[in-house]
């Protein structure tokens, strides 16, 4: 079955030579698909204004059960990125240096899509046209892919078609919104939205911001408030004073309050460490909370820092030396946390870039073995 892309773009075939058009334009008009128990949800991230794909995620659903998730990092032409797009998905050339090009990745992706009902959130403006555009750009023969838009399933009549983006729908349906703008994570959340619709779940829009800007402001206000608590004592403390502590609020860290001695220059070695990482328990799949993240580790834990760094790398994270624009998370020990690291976190928050904080042994255990996704919500 040939899938529709642009509806009735060229209704009058007599006026145009069909074979002279790109494949994506040689299409027929189809009605929209109704949701079914079997489908594939997809998501695309792109590197630049030319919409070259740099990440492709999909979730396969059979009988309303998620049976497979995949996510490909894809090297855009010349491995070039526009920083305006990197701000959204945090992918850079370093992430795709060894990644396949789109034609190479497509050989693995295509079998998942052929003959399937495809869905995506914002499909009309993103996945549907961009997928076909990239296929045509690389001269890849294909039927035109029609991708249904899951926004159509949950509308807010009072908002004139707004307020039902991926984050808003997830919030209204009680679906955890994890790793937003990671293509694999977004495809998974889209699948959950469709499954909720198929199960006749009704959204609760109360308190859900209408615009993405309102959503961003709400989250940022909360982060700045909590960061203020985090740095309450640290900010006005003379450098070098050794008896000063920073209190981490439970609301900011998502765990019990911890005390961090930011100036303690205690032993950094592994001497006395009796706890080790259980590498057999680590989730090494692409769906784990650290996969593809840029992470800084600082301070002293009951586990040696080298083991912690090895563990997060095993889970697919990339280590960075200090908090910076593209840092996703900082794992903080309860001793010997450098003041410059805290200042770096504060500076990035002030610029609107949220860095997840994992504080102390309890948080670290949750990250490695439990529900680590909560730190990135």
Per residue in 122-132, pLDDT tens? 988 889 899 99
Once rounded to an integer, what is the mean pLDDT over residues 60-68? 95
Out of 16-20, 113-117, 130-134, 307-311, which region has the weakest mean confidence (pLDDT)?
16-20
SS3 42: strand
> Per CATH, the architecture of 215-376 is what?
3-Layer(aba) Sandwich (3.40)
**CB within 8 Å of 75: residues ≥ 6 apart:** 54, 96, 97, 99, 100, 101
Report yes or no: 308 and 297 within 8 Å, Cβ to Cβ. Answer: yes
Going by pLDDT thresholds of 50, 70 and 90, the confidence category of residue 349 is confident
Query: For the range 348-355, what are the long-range contacts, defined as Cβ-Cβ under 8 Å and sequence gap of 24 or more?
Result: 348/323, 348/324, 349/223, 349/224, 349/227, 350/224, 351/325, 352/216, 352/220, 353/325, 353/327, 354/219, 354/220, 354/223, 355/323, 355/327, 355/328, 355/329, 355/330
DSSP letter for each residue of 152-169 = GGS--GGGTT-S-SHHHH
Residues near 14 by beta carbon (within 8 Å), at least 6 away in sequence: none
pLDDT tens readout for residues 192-247:
999 999 999 999 998 888 776 666 665 555 444 444 444 443 444 333 333 333 33
CA distance 377 to 369: 17
pLDDT at 340 (0 to 100): 74
* Topology adopted by domain 13-198: Nucleotidyltransferase; domain 5 (3.30.420)
Please determine, for residue 5, whether its predicted confidence score (pLDDT) is greater than 50.
no
Once rounded to an integer, what is the mean pLDDT over residues 31-53? Answer: 88
User: pLDDT exceeding 70 applies to what percent of the chain?
Assistant: 72
| Cα end-to-end distance, the chain, whole Å | 39
**Residue 101 banded pLDDT, cuts 50, 70, 90:** very high
- For residue 93, pLDDT over 50 is answered with yes
Residue 250 has pLDDT above 60, yes or no: no
pLDDT value of residue 195:
96
Q: What is the pLDDT of residue 153?
A: 93
* DSSP-based three-state secondary structure for 70: strand
Which tokens hold the place of 156? Answer: 């807010």
d(CA 50, CA 133): 10
State the Cα–Cα distance between residues 264 and 260, nearest whole angstrom: 9
Does residue 116 carry a pLDDT above 70? Answer: yes
* CB-CB neighbours of 311 under 10 Å: 24
Contact (Cβ atoms closer than 8 angstroms) between residue 315 and residue 339 = no
Among residues of the chain, what percentage have pLDDT more than 90? 38
Residue 42's nearest CA partner among 99, 138, 122, 103 is 122
pLDDT at 225: 41
For the ranges 17-21, 104-108, 272-276, 295-299, the one whose mean pLDDT is highest: 104-108
Q: Is the pLDDT of residue 28 over 50?
A: no
Between 86-90, 142-146, 166-170, the lowest mean confidence (pLDDT) is in: 142-146
pLDDT, tens only, 66-76: 999 999 999 99
CA triple 63-67-73, angle to 5 deg: 135
pLDDT for 232: 45
| Predicted pLDDT of residue 252 | 33
> For all residues of the chain together, what is the average pLDDT?
76
What number is the average pLDDT over the span 348-377? 83
> Would you place residue 107 in the very low, low, confident or very high pLDDT band (cuts 50, 70, 90)?
very high
Residue 297's beta-bridge partner residues? 331
Identify whether the C-beta of residue 215 lies closer than 8 Å to the C-beta of residue 221.
Answer: no
For residue range 154-182, list pLDDT tens digits in order: 988 777 667 888 989 999 999 988 788 89
286-312 mean pLDDT: 87
CA separation for the pair 329, 348 (Å, rounded): 11
Residue 272 has pLDDT above 50, yes or no: no
Q: How far is CA 206 from the centre of its chain?
A: 25
Measuring CA to CA, which residue among 127, 114, 118 is closest to residue 38?
Answer: 118
- Closest among 178, 157, 181, 145 to 55, alpha carbons compared: 181
> Do the two domains 13-198 and 215-376 of this chain adopt the same fold?
no
Q: Give the domain ranges of the chain.
A: 13-198, 215-376
Kindly state the DSSP code that residue 237 receives in the 8-state scheme. Answer: P
Q: What is the dihedral of CA 131, 134, 136, 142, to 10 degrees?
A: -40
The pLDDT value given to residue 212: 67
Determine the Cα–Cα distance for residues 213 and 109; give it in Å rounded to an integer.
33
- What pLDDT was estimated at residue 218? 58
- Order across the sheet with 329-332: list the strands: 318-319, 294-298, 329-332, 356-359
- Of 62-76, 263-277, 308-322, give the range with the top mean pLDDT: 62-76
């Amino acid at each position: 079955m040939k899938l529709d892309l642009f509806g009735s773009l060229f209704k009058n075939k007599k006026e145009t030579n069909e074979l002279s058009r790109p494949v994506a334009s040689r299409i027929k008009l189809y009605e929209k698909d109704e949701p079914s128990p079997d489908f594939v949800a997809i998501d695309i991230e792109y590197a630049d204004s030319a919409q070259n794909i740099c990440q492709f995620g999909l979730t396969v659903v059979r009988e309303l059960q998620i049976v497979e998730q995949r996510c490909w990092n894809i090297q855009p032409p010349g491995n070039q990125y526009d920083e305006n797009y990197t701000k959204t998905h945090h992918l850079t050339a370093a992430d795709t240096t060894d990644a396949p090009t789109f034609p190479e990745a497509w050989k693995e992706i295509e079998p998942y899509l052929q003959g399937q009902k495809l869905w995506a959130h914002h499909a009309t403006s993103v996945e549907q046209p961009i997928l076909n555009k990239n296929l045509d750009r690389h001269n890849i023969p294909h039927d035109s892919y029609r991708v249904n838009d899951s926004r159509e399933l949950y509308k807010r009549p009072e908002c004139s078609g707004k307020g039902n983006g991926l984050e808003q729908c997830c919030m209204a349906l009680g679906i955890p919104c994890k790793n937003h703008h990671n293509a694999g994570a977004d495809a998974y959340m889209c699948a959950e939205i469709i499954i909720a619709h198929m199960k006749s779940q009704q959204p609760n829009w109360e308190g859900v911001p209408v615009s993405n800007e309102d959503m961003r402001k709400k989250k940022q206000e909360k982060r700045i408030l909590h960061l203020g608590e985090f740095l309450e004592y640290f900010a006005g403390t003379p450098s070098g004073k050794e008896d000063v502590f920073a209190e981490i609020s439970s609301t900011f860290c998502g765990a019990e309050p911890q005390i961090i001695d930011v100036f303690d220059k205690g032993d950094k070695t592994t001497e006395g460490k009796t706890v080790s990482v259980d590498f057999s328990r680590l989730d090494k799949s692409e769906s784990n909370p650290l996969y593809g993240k840029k992470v800084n580790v600082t301070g002293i834990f009951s586990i040696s820092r080298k083991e912690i760094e090895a563990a997060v790398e095993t889970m697919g994270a990339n280590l960075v030396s200090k908090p910076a624009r593209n840092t996703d998370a900082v794992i903080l020990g309860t001793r010997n946390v450098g003041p410059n690291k805290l200042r770096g976190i504060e500076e990035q928050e002030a610029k609107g870039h949220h860095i997840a904080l994992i504080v102390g042994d309890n948080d670290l255990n949750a990250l490695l073995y439990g529900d680590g996704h909560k730190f990135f919500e």
